[in-house]
């Protein structure tokens, strides 16, 4: 009986030891370090823009050629301005033209015969497509001679037209930005001949 008691006691001790060493593993809890504080965002104030000096653009011209524009440019730069050269195609009067219009090719030949017979030998049919129905009866630098020729043609029973002849020339304008405190441009400041004008600069087209 005593042996049985000690046997049961040893069995209980063994079970107790087994339960302590082979039970469920202990759960390890990891504590995360505190997160770094989120920095507070601050709005950065934009640097104040420097107030720009208001300007106005003025244009002076026309100058007949590049040399005249260059001379005026030098005078303007001496005053502290920075002009910009702008070339513009323009039509200018170039004398007087006498012609006979609205003629077919056959009619032109008959008109030329009549003019030659009357002593007008400088007449000719026009070859440009937009003027192919005309016979030119002369170009004149002054109106008096042009009127005299027109009267000669009319005396032959024809219908002359007296028109101002135009030619295309390239002229120069100088554009310059003036401060609000600057006096306006005066053509006499540029020591140039008569005919100069001072106007506002042309408005640039959108996207140009």
Give the Cα separation of 118 and 126 in Å (integer).
20
Domain that holds residue 82: 55-91+169-200
pLDDT of residue 195: 81
CATH label of the domain that carries residue 69: 3.30.70
Q: Quick one: which of 182, 199, 200, 172 has its CA closest to 73? A: 172
CA distance 177 to 81: 8
DSSP state of 184: P
What digits encode the pLDDT tens for the residues 79-89? 888 999 999 89
Does residue 68 lie within any of the structural domains?
Answer: yes
Number of folded domains that form the chain? 2
Rounded CA separation 155/150 (Å): 9
Query: Is 159 domain-assigned?
Result: yes
Task: Give the residues across from 58 on adjacent strands.
Answer: 176, 200
Confidence of residue 110 (pLDDT cuts 50, 70, 90): very high
Q: Is 133 helix (H, G, I), strand (E, B) or coil?
A: coil
Name the average pLDDT for the chain.
Answer: 81
Could you tell me if 123 and 143 lie in one domain?
A: yes
> 124 and 136 in contact (C-beta within 8 Å)?
yes
Question: How far apart are the C-alpha atoms of 208 and 205, rounded to whole Å?
Answer: 5
What pLDDT does residue 152 have? 96
Contacts of 137 (CB under 8 A, 6+ apart): 98, 99, 100, 115, 120, 122, 123, 149, 150, 153, 160
The reply to whether 113 and 152 lie within a common domain is yes
Q: Which residue do the tokens 């192919």 mark?
A: 132
pLDDT above 50: residue 28? no
Stretch 63-78: mean pLDDT, rounded? 91
Q: Please indicate, yes or no, whether residues 179 and 190 belong to a single structural domain of this protein.
A: yes
Please work out, in degrees rounded to the nearest 5, the angle formed at the alpha carbon of residue 107 by the alpha carbons of 105 and 108: 65
Q: Are residue 177 and residue 158 in the same domain, yes or no?
A: no
Q: Rounded to two decimals, what is the model's pTM?
A: 0.48
Does 159 lie in the same domain as 121? yes
Which burial class, exposed, middle or buried, applies to 196 when counting CB atoms under 10 A from its CB (0-12, 13-18, 19+)? Answer: buried
- DSSP assignment of 13-82 equals HHHHHHHHHSSPPPPPPPPPPPPPPPPPP-PPPPPPPPPPPPEEEEEEEEESSHHHHHHHHHHHHHTT--
């Amino acid at each position: 009986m005593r042996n049985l008691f000690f046997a049961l006691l040893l069995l209980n001790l063994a079970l107790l030891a087994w339960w302590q060493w082979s039970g469920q593993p202990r759960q390890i809890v990891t504590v995360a370090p505190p997160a770094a504080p989120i920095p507070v965002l601050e709005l950065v104030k934009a640097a104040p823009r420097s107030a720009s000096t208001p300007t106005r653009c003025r244009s002076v011209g026309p100058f007949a050629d590049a040399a005249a524009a260059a001379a005026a440019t030098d005078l303007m730069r001496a005053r502290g301005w920075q002009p910009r050269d702008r070339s513009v195609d323009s039509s200018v009067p170039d004398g007087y033209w006498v012609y006979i219009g609205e003629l077919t090719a056959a009619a032109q030949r008959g008109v030329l015969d009549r003019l030659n017979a009357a002593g007008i030998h400088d007449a000719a049919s026009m070859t440009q497509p937009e003027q192919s129905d005309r016979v030119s009866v002369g170009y004149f630098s002054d109106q008096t001679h042009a009127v005299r020729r027109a009267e000669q043609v009319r005396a032959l029973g024809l219908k002359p037209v007296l028109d101002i002849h135009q030619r295309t020339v390239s002229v120069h304008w100088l554009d310059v930005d003036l401060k609000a405190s600057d006096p306006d441009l005066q053509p006499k400041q540029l020591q140039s001949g008569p005919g100069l004008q001072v106007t506002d600069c042309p408005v640039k087209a959108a996207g140009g």
